[in-house]
């Protein structure tokens, strides 16, 4: 009911893929041509930092979140929605794919609230309204999503800077996706000796956060997988630097870490 079709694949593209000439765009177009339904969420923190520095705006992070004042918010929005998002759309279109870029502000699709007043305009996702995404999917396009939400600051409706990882998890959950795949810059989740963990239950993944083995930028990815597992059967964290990482993950080949609910482990 209201759902376009099942088997939606949500792909979060992180810093590894952005700005590199890798094969992710090719894979997205190949999967689209096979008839797969894809949704892409991108990050772009490094590119935002580069522009802030070009504009001589100082920036700092607290627990992995960018402290976002008014001026930084405008740069975050301009860079993510204007530059990063459009490059991805053009990349897909130039390979013969169909894509439409949007942010969580558009169609009111990511509702957020201020996470912590000290972080400024940083939002956490409150609700994902899947209708705008489903409309784009129905048209046969890949939605390319810049992680901005809308919320209220003071009395005023505002755009808010949301982390792409939890946004991807919440979008996958709201769409009842078949799979959530994070493309990142490491082979997957590594144990304390740096060895790849190919398969984890939700409990195992969660205890890796507790023990500090999973830290920094890996924390929001694992948390997003754990949240998405309420409706999404398969979540994966794979190395976006590997050629055709996405096709390999879809084919059940390649490396990376798969996190599933315990009951679904074979």
Contact residues for ligand ADP, defined by CB under 6 A: 14-16, 43, 184-186, 189-190, 213-218
CA angle, 222 then 90 then 178, to 5°:
35
Shortest distance (Å) from residue 191 CB to Mg ion: 20
Which of ligand ADP, Mg ion, none is residue 213 near (CB under 5 to 8 Å by kind)?
ligand ADP
Q: How far is CA 19 from the centre of its chain?
A: 16
Asked if 233 touches Mg ion (CB under 5 A), the answer is no
- Taking the C-alpha atoms of residue 64 and residue 66, their distance in angstroms, rounded to an integer, is 7
Name the β-bridge partners of 156: 153
Which of Mg ion, ligand ADP, none is residue 218 near (CB under 5 to 8 Å by kind)?
ligand ADP
Asked if 217 touches Mg ion (CB under 5 A), the answer is yes
Shortest distance (Å) from residue 220 CB to ligand ADP: 7
- Taking the C-alpha atoms of residue 105 and residue 98, their distance in angstroms, rounded to an integer, is 21
Quick one: which segment of 1-9, 92-100, 117-125, 214-222 binds Mg ion (CB under 5 A)?
A: 214-222
Which of ligand ADP, Mg ion, none is residue 249 near (CB under 5 to 8 Å by kind)?
none
Of the two residues 56 and 195, which places its CB atom closer to ligand ADP in the complex? 195
Shortest distance (Å) from residue 44 CB to ligand ADP: 9
Q: Show the tokens assigned to 256.
A: 């990376």
Shortest distance (Å) from residue 169 CB to ligand ADP: 13
Shortest distance (Å) from residue 163 CB to Mg ion: 7
Contact residues for Mg ion, defined by CB under 5 A: 217
């Amino acid at each position: 009911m209201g759902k376009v079709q099942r088997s939606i694949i949500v792909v979060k593209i992180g810093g590894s893929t952005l700005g590199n000439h890798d094969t992710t765009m090719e894979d997205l177009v190949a999967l689209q041509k096979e008839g797969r339904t894809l949704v892409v969420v991108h990050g772009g923190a490094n590119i935002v930092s580069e522009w802030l520095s070009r504009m001589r705006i100082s920036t700092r992070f607290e627990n992995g979140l960018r402290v976002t004042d008014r001026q930084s918010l405008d740069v975050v929005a301009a860079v993510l929605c204007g530059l990063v998002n459009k490059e991805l759309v053009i990349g897909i279109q130039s390979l013969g794919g169909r894509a439409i870029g949007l942010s969580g502000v558009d169609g009111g699709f990511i509702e957020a609230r201020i996470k912590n007043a000290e972080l400024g305009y940083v939002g956490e996702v409150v609700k994902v309204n899947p209708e705008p995404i489903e409309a784009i999917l129905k048209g046969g396009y890949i939605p390319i999503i810049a992680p901005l939400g809308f919320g209220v600051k003071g009395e005023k409706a505002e755009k808010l800077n949301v982390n792409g990882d939890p946004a991807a998890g919440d979008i996958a959950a709201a769409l009842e996706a078949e799979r959530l795949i994070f493309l990142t810059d490491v082979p997957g989740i590594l144990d304390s000796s740096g060895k790849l963990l190919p398969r984890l239950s939700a409990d195992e993944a969660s205890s890796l956060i507790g023990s500090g083995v999973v830290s920094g930028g890996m924390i929001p990815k694992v948390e997003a997988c754990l949240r998405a597992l309420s409706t999404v059967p398969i979540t994966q964290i794979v190395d976006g630097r590997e050629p055709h990482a996405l096709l390999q993950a879809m084919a059940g080949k390649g490396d990376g870490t798969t996190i599933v609910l315990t009951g679904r482990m074979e």
